[in-house]
């Protein structure tokens, strides 16, 4: 069966949920999760992410999670929910800008290597070295030789990371052309969101089929046993977020190592008189 992003415009809708894994009462008539259930389950999973981060710290583990997919597919949304309750010192987000002139002359993976996790860290890549086989390939930002070398070296590079003891997870967020268009139109209509709709997004939307071809080629060469791709259908953002976070948690044999509540200390008695409040400048109270 084709993935959601392979469904052409005008094709039949993806199959409706048949087994209702979360219980039929938690779905709307259109097959999407109800908000109340989603929020409760998200809160539960976020608590588990807090437990996971403490375990990673204690074990000195290293984890790298890559999020790829089309524009508006939901990568940023799931990253936001993962980091909402976790510590930025442990769970770090890397979203690199366009490479500088100097970086363009480096070994391709070089600028990513410095952001790899150290002991006790989980690093989330909001797009990654897979820019080369997707965006750069379709938009002509790399040569054929550079593209072919990437497909040869990427699997070996990732095998090296795994052999070093790093946990490497790769997620591809898959969105249909119709849903991507709906999200782009929504951004276009709201001034507060219009900044999210870039010229690159518009060009990607136009070249939807070419991006599908690039994705398929990427999977052919880089969907390896040591670091397989996991596809997240994301036309329904709520199910995509819950499914992805749940899967991430399932990839670690972690334990609850959270320390119990501690006794808060009393204030020390120190002879000190603070300066008058009127000597300080306060923000005007408008609320």
- Average predicted confidence (pLDDT) for the chain: 92
Q: Compute the average pLDDT of residues 153-181.
A: 97
CATH architecture designation of domain 25-254: 3-Layer(aba) Sandwich (3.40)
pTM over 0.85: yes
Given a cut of 80, whether residue 2 has pLDDT beyond it is no
What are 198-246's pLDDT values in tens digits? 999 999 999 999 999 999 999 999 999 999 999 999 999 999 999 999 9
Residue spans per domain, the chain: 25-254
What are 42-58's pLDDT values in tens digits? 999 999 999 999 999 99
| pLDDT at position 214 | 97
- Residue keyed to tokens 């939901």: 74
Residue 28, phi then psi, degrees to nearest 5: -80, 175
Strand order across the beta sheet in which 167-174 lies: 91-94, 121-126, 62-69, 167-174, 229-233
Separation between Cα atoms, residue 17 and residue 26, nearest integer Å: 12
DSSP output for the chain: ---GGGPPTTPPPPPPPSS-TT-GGGB-TTSPBPHHHHHHHHHHHHHHHHHHHHHHHHHT-EEEEEEEESTTSSHHHHHHHHHSSS-TTTEEEE---SPPHHHHTS-TTHHHHTTS--TTEEEEEES-GGGIIIIIHHHT-S-HHHHHHHHHHHHHHHHHHHHTT-EEEEEEEE--HHHHHHHHHHHHH-TTTGGG--HHHHHHHHTHHHHHHHHHHHHHHH--SSS-EEEEE-SSHHHHHHHHHHHHHHT------PPPPPPPPPPP-----PPPGGGSPPPP---
What are 66-87's pLDDT values in tens digits? 999 999 999 999 999 999 999 9
Given a cut of 60, whether residue 13 has pLDDT beyond it is no
């Amino acid at each position: 069966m084709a993935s959601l992003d392979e469904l052409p415009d005008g094709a039949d809708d993806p199959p409706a949920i048949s087994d209702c894994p979360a219980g039929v009462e938690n779905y709307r008539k259109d097959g999407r999760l109800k908000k109340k259930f989603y929020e409760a389950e998200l809160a539960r999973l976020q608590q588990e992410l807090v437990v996971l981060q403490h375990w990673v710290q204690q074990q000195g583990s290293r984890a790298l999670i890559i999020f790829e997919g089309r524009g508006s597919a939901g990568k940023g949304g799931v990253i936001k929910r993962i980091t909402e309750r976790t510590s930025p010192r442990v769970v770090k987000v890397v979203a690199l800008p366009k490479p500088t002139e100097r970086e363009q002359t480096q070994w391709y993976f070089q600028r990513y290597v410095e952001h790899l996790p150290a002991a006790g860290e989980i690093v989330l890549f909001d797009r990654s070295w897979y820019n080369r086989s997707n965006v750069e390939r379709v938009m002509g930002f790399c040569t054929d030789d550079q593209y072919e070398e990437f497909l040869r070296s990427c699997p070996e590079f990732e095998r090296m990371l795994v052999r070093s003891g790093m946990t490497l997870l790769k997620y591809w967020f898959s969105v249909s052309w119709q849903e991507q268009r709906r999200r782009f139109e929504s951004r276009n209509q709201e001034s507060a969101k219009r900044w999210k709709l870039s010229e690159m997004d518009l060009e990607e939307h136009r070249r939807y089929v070419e991006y599908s071809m690039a994705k398929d080629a990427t999977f052919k060469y880089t969907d390896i046993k040591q670091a397989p791709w996991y596809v997240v259908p994301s036309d329904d953002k709520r199910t995509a977020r819950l499914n992805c976070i749940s899967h991430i948690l399932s990839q670690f044999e972690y334990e609850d190592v959270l320390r119990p509540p501690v006794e808060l200390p009393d204030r020390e008695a120190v002879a000190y008189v603070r300066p008058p409040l009127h000597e300080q400048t306060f923000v005007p109270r408008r609320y």
